[in-house]
Chain A
């Protein structure tokens, strides 16, 4: 029996629910979200679920082929590298370094960007103009180049990479947030709020941020894909993670010498980087399209 309706009532979903509905309609976006969540989960639990110690060198099991070939062993599903370390464990641990670290750098850049962007957006006049020009300058330098220079100054290493990538992502965030805030400030309800007697802080926290957080999420997804690629690129160039840390980009460059003997050890980490970035891009695209459709309906 159909649901009985006494009188016609408009169903108003909250904007968030509407967004989710539009998002869920896109198959690719859902797929991306599933992939993204699994990476996220992996990066958190990886240290606990690796079948072997990622740093343990087994002298007698060097360059074991993957388990689907004849000489492979089931205990080492993807085989071992030339120091006898289990590839699967290293790949799992690598999730923490590549994906997890990228997430951390993006969050860091986001928070700093919020603070600076708010300062830039809310201020007027000479200060803002000078700041804008400074931003334009920094934005012209590509983020990877900036990261490389910072690492050249600080020296190689995973911690320095994190700092470098975070600093390199910062200008994008500041630029985007500042633009978003500027756009919001022109709206009528801000003026109304101010007329009601709100000060800058209240305008910012209660009015502006709730209205721009969706844009921020989209910005963060773009920044996340850049961060993952940058961290992997720096690891690949041996400027980032150093041996024996199993960051995916560093694993590719470590195994480059073995490319003819064990192509899997070069192909699989790259595939994972690709999958991680793909998932972030799919989610970001899905969000953008969902927001656009929500606006139209």
Chain B
């Protein structure tokens, strides 16, 4: 196990190294002045320019520039946003929790709905129920997420008025940001309207979560179904049936535990696709997360922000990937050999 962990950490290290190289090179690949791309300062008077060139070591070789870049990253100086001239890291810290919150709830929903439906589909794969679930799954898999979101907004928000059309919370409610996670912050806030505000936050959360959860749910359904079908053919299942256990008992005691194990790993692999879908969802629902922030930066040609955003998102994806792999290996002895 330790060996595995060490190997994974080494892989993590190399991947992060490569990522930092890519981010550094973006400073030159983006159009415009490299010093502006790295620092994010809009007005570069000659004296400031000279100071920064020395500090960023832009007059030396690429290697020393890159080392200076790494040094700055380590110390938390990720530059300023070209648009707002505020430190990038603090801006990211404000928007990142919103995305994590939305993505977590979507993953939760996909787990809660995907697993039972997948099992249902696996029980009788050629049956009526199995075919219906299959059709829904393929449809959900093929939906363009932005169109799906628009459809849901037009029907449930503008049409029926059940849910708001965007945002995280009704603007008239003032909730101080403590953790960045809305539901937590509402519990922490001292206001007589706590229940009303909580309900409002849940209503705002509903549609984006459904939209974002569509893709992972369908993937989960297929995956669980395939895993269950595979496990069902195994010998220990036949033994269990021969022993006289009922179908449900077999399912629960032997089938589920073995089929669900790779699901954890699957979540990790889906995370990367989920982040992109989250970006599109955030744009449509005006959800104040890092996806929308990154896209806004692209429209504003805010290159330092694009650089920082790319790094953060990639680190997030890599970390989640790594965590789920470690968890998977922790629970599944067979995978440790790799």
Contact = CB atoms under 8 A, between A and B. Distances in A.
- Please say whether the chains A and B touch (CB closer than 8 A): yes
A225 B314 contact: no
Contacts of B147: 252, 266, 270-271, 273-274
Nearest to B298: A152
A144 B278 CA distance: 11
Contacts of B256: none
Contacts of B234: none
B264 to A, nearest CB: 18
B283 A237 contact: yes
B18 interface: yes
A198 interface: no
A233 B144 contact: yes
Interface string A24-63: 0000100000000000000000000000000000000000
Given A259-B154, A274-B147, A278-B142, A137 B15 contact: yes
A273 B295 CA distance: 22
A44 to B, nearest CB: 22
Contacts of A133: 11, 14-15, 18
A153 B26 contact: yes
B276 interface: yes
Main SS class of interface, A: helix
A237 B265 CA distance: 31
B15 A140 contact: yes
B58 interface: no
Nearest to A269: B147
B150 interface: yes
Q: With a 10 A CB-CB cut-off, give which of A136, A152, A232, A281 has the most chain B CB atoms.
A: A152
Interface residues of A, number: 42
A152 B30 contact: yes
Contact of A141 (B26, B272, B283, B298): B272
B317 A233 contact: no
A233 B146 contact: yes
A140 B318 contact: yes
Nearest to A147: B276
Contacts, number: 104
Interface string A216-247: 00000000010001001100111100000000
A236 B71 CA distance: 38
Contacts of A134: 18
Contacts of A267: 151
B279 interface: yes
Interface string B210-230: 000000000000000000000
Contacts of B18: 133-134, 137
A142 interface: yes
Contacts of B30: 152-153
Nearest to B283: A237
B141 interface: yes
Given A273-B147, A278-B139, A140 B298 contact: no
Contacts of B26: 149, 153
Q: With a 10 A CB-CB cut-off, give which of A142, A148, A267, A271 has the most chain B CB atoms.
A: A142
B116 to A, nearest CB: 22
Interface in A125-144: 133-134, 136-137, 140-144
Q: Which 10 A-B pairs have the closest CB atoms?
A: A270-B147, A144-B276, A277-B142, A278-B142, A137-B18, A142-B276, A142-B272, A137-B15, A273-B144, A152-B298
9 contacts: A136-B11, A140-B272, A140-B321, A148-B294, A239-B298, A252-B147, A270-B144, A271-B147, A280-B142
